[in-house]
With several copies, the nearest count.
Chain A
Amino acid sequence: MTDSKTPRLDELEKGAWPSFVTEIKKAAAKKANSQDLLDQLELSYKDKIGYWKHGGIVGVKGYGGGVIGRYSAKADQFPNVKEFHTLRVNMVPGFFYTTEALRGLCETWDKFGSGLTNMHGSTGDLVLLGTTTENLQPCFDELAEKGWDLGGSGGGLRTPSGCVGMARCEFACIDSMDFIQEVTRHFQDAIHRPAWPYKFKIKCSGCANDCAAATARSDFAVIGTWCDTLKIDQNAVREYVKGGFNIDALVVGKCPTKALEYDSAKQELKFDAENCVRCMNCIDMMPKAIKTGKDRGAAILIGGKAPVVKSAFIGWVLVPFMKVDAPYAEIFDLITRITEYFDEHAKSRERIGELIYRVGMGNFLKGVGLTPQPQMVSAPRANPYIFWQDEEVVKHG
C-alpha cells in the first residue's frame, strides 16, 4: 500500500459505489496511456488542479466535429497522454446495444485508444476517452466499418438524444427513439460539419416526465403529449384505493390545476378535462388506472441551456402541440427554419435562447414563421414597452 504511486486515488477504490479508479486501473493494466492518465490524475488530486491544456483542432477526414482534442500540460512527466483526444461516437438511440455490437466497439477501442469510455456522455454520446492524433483516423475507419458514426461537437448540431419511449414505456406519446434516429440522420451534415455560431441540441422525451431532461438540457425539446383527454378506468381506480393507496394525498392533492376530485361515496375519480395540463402525475401514480390520451403529438420547447453566458434557461414553449409522426416532415421543416434563423442571426457563441432573448420572441416567431399563442408565456408582458411597426400606424403629418 505505502509504495502505491496513487495513494489518493486508491482511496477511491474503497466503498460500495462502483469505482472509476478501478476502471482506470483495469485499462492501465493494458494501456500505457491509461496508466499515465491515472498518474496524472493522482497528481491532480495532490495538487488540486487539472493538468489538461486547451484542445487544438483535430479530427477525422470529412468531418469537422466528433472529436475533442486534448493535450496534457505535463506531457514531460506523462508522455503517453501528451495527446489524449476523445471520440464522441453516436450512441444507439435509446441506448440499446447488442453484446455483439458492444464487443466490436471494445475491440476497436482497445486497439486504438485507452480502453476507457464514458457510457455515456451527458449529451448522450458514447465517449471514447483518450487516443492520439495519429490514431484518430484509423480508429474511426474501423468504427465506421462496424457501423459506428461520430456524434457532434463544436458549433453545430449535437448528437440528438431521447428517452426509451415506446420501446419500454407505457407513457410514451411519441416514438422518441425513432424520432431521434431519424432527426439524427436527417441533419447529419449539421452534426458532422459544424458551421453554426454555436452548439444546438435536440432532445426528445415521450411524455412530460421528461426522462431525457430535454426541456432543461436542449435547445429544441420535443415533449410527447396528447390533445384529447386522458382516460380513466374507474374500476382500476377503485382497486388502487382498495389497496390502501392514498389517492387524495398522492393524486388529487397534487394535480397542479385541481382537475381531479375523488368522490369516496361514489368511489369515482371525477375529472375536469378542460383544466388538465397533462402533467402526467396522476398517470404516473396510477399507471394501471389512468392512461394518456389517444390523439398524440408533442409540445416543442426552445432555448433550454446551461448558465453560460446570459443565464441558464429552461426551454420555452414554442409550439403547444404538433403531430410528430414518421416521416417527420413537419417537424424537420420547423427545425430547418429555426436552425437557418439561428445560423443567420446568432452571434458567435450565442445559444438560440440567448438569440431569442436578444431579438425578442416576437421577432423570432416572425423569423421562423410561427404564430404567437398564449401557451408560449406564463404571463403576458407587464411593461408597456411595446413595439409598433410602420404598417400598423397611420402615416401622416
Chain B
Amino acid sequence: MAKTDFGPPDYRTMIPPVIAKNYGKWSYHEIPQPGVLKHVGESGDILYSVRIASARLISTDWIKELCDIADKYCGGYIRFTTRHNVEFLVSDENQLQPLLDDLKARGYLVGGTGNAISNVVHTQGWIHCHTPATDASGLVKAMMDELHGYFTTMKMPARVRLAVACCVNMCGACHCSDIAIVGIHRTIPRINHEGVAKACEVPSVIAACPTGAIRPNPKLKSVEVNKEKCMFCGNCYTMCPSMEIADPVNDGVSIWVGGKVSNARTAPKFSRLAIPFLPNNPPRWPEVTDAVKHLVEVYAANARAGERMGEWIDRVGWERFFKLTGIPFTEKHIDDFTFSPTTFRSTSQFRL
C-alpha cells in the first residue's frame, strides 16, 4: 500500500533562501520594467521576479527547460502564479539582465505585471472535458496572439483580466473578469430515452435544471424537456450522458465584461453580458478575437488611469458602453433569471 494523506510538499522546502530569510518582512515593491517585480525586504535584501507567459497546457519538456533556466539564474527555484504565468526568482541582481536576455533569445514573453493584460485563466474544452461548447486553449492562443503587446507592456488604464470557459460551468474566473469568453449551447438537449432509463437518476436530473424545464416521463422511465423553459445550460447533461447538448452548428461563444475580483477601490463585480453570441470558428475564432480586441481598445481609449473595465463602465454607464462599443443591446442582455428585478433600472437617472 502506497503512502497516503501526507499532503502537499512543504513549501518551506521549495522557497529560495532570500524568501526564507525575508518571509513576512518585505518592505515594498517596484516594477522596474514590464514583467519584472523588484521586492525589497526590511533587511534591504532584493528579490527580482521575472514573469513569463505560459500556455498553461505544457509538456514535461518545457517544464524541464524552465528548470534549466532556473538552475542557471535562480539557484534552482521557480514559481507559478495564480494566473498560470511562470516566475523566475532572481536574488542575485547580476543575473537579472542575463536572464532577461536568455528569455528573449528563447522567444519567451516577459510581462503580465502592473497595468497589463496578464495570462488568461481558462479551462479544458475539447482537450479534456465532456461538456464544452467550445475549446479554451485555442481561443486563448488566438486572442493572446493579438493581444500579447499588452502583456509585454503596461499601457492599459489598469490591469485587465481575461478568462475563457468552454461552458457555463465557468471553471475559472469568468464570472468576475474584466473580459470573459464563455462557450454556450443554443439548442435543447437531445434525449436518448433508453439511455436515461438505464443510466440516469431521474430526480437528480430534474433537480439539476435551473429553470425547472425538465419533467419526468414515467412511461419511458425517462424525462422530457419543456422547450419554452430550457436555456441550454447543459447542466442536465452533466447529470446524464443521455441528454447530449453539444451542437457543432449552433454552439459558440459569448462575451462578458466588467467583472473584477479585488476589493481595491470598488467591491468585486460580476462580468456582464456584452455579446450574446459569436460563432465557433476554429482554429482562430476571428470574430471573437476581433471583438475582444475591440473591447480592449475602446476601454483603453476611454477609461481613466487606474480604472478597471467595470469601474469605467460604472462611471460612464452601460448605455454609454453600448454606444461606444457599437454593440447592439438586445433582449438577451436583460436578465430574466431569479434576481432579474435587481438589475432593472429603478430610477429615471440615465443618459439618453
Contact = CB atoms under 8 A, between A and B. Distances in A.
A and B touch in the complex (CB under 8 A): yes
B248 A382 contact: no
Interface in B21-64: 23-24, 26-29, 39, 47, 49, 53-64
B192 interface: no
A215 B186 contact: no
Interface residues of B, number: 159
Interface stretch (A94-102, A262-270, A337-345): A94-102
Given A119-B56, A185-B7, A308-B168, A386 B263 contact: no
A90 interface: yes
A52 B129 CA distance: 6
B89 to A, nearest CB: 8
A219 interface: no
Contacts of B11: 92-94, 96, 167, 177-178, 181
A168 to B, nearest CB: 6
B254 A384 contact: yes
Interface in A106-162: 106, 109-110, 115-120, 122, 124, 129-130, 137, 140-141, 144-145, 147-149, 161
B94 interface: no
A249 interface: yes
Interface in A25-83: 26-27, 37, 41, 44-45, 47-55, 60-63, 68, 70
Given A120-B80, A372-B334, A384-B168, A12 B272 contact: no
B334 to A, nearest CB: 5
A383 B76 contact: no
B271 interface: yes
B180 to A, nearest CB: 10
B28 A27 contact: no
A208 B265 CA distance: 10
A97 B66 CA distance: 11
Contact of A376 (B39, B246, B270, B345): B345
B295 to A, nearest CB: 14
Given A361-B344, A384-B184, A168 B49 contact: yes
Contact of B348 (A100, A103, A301): A301
Given A148-B9, A175-B24, A95 B80 contact: yes
Nearest to B80: A95
A52 B338 CA distance: 32
A53 to B, nearest CB: 6
A380 interface: yes
Interface in A221-266: 223, 225, 227, 246, 249-250, 254-257
A145 B3 CA distance: 7
B305 A168 contact: no
Nearest to B229: A387
B137 interface: yes
B222 interface: no
B47 A314 contact: no
Given A20-B137, A54-B241, A185-B7, A254 B14 contact: no
A184 B7 contact: yes
Contact of A106 (B54, B64, B349): B64
11 contacts: A48-B249, A50-B135, A94-B79, A168-B19, A175-B24, A192-B4, A308-B169, A366-B331, A374-B318, A380-B334, A383-B337
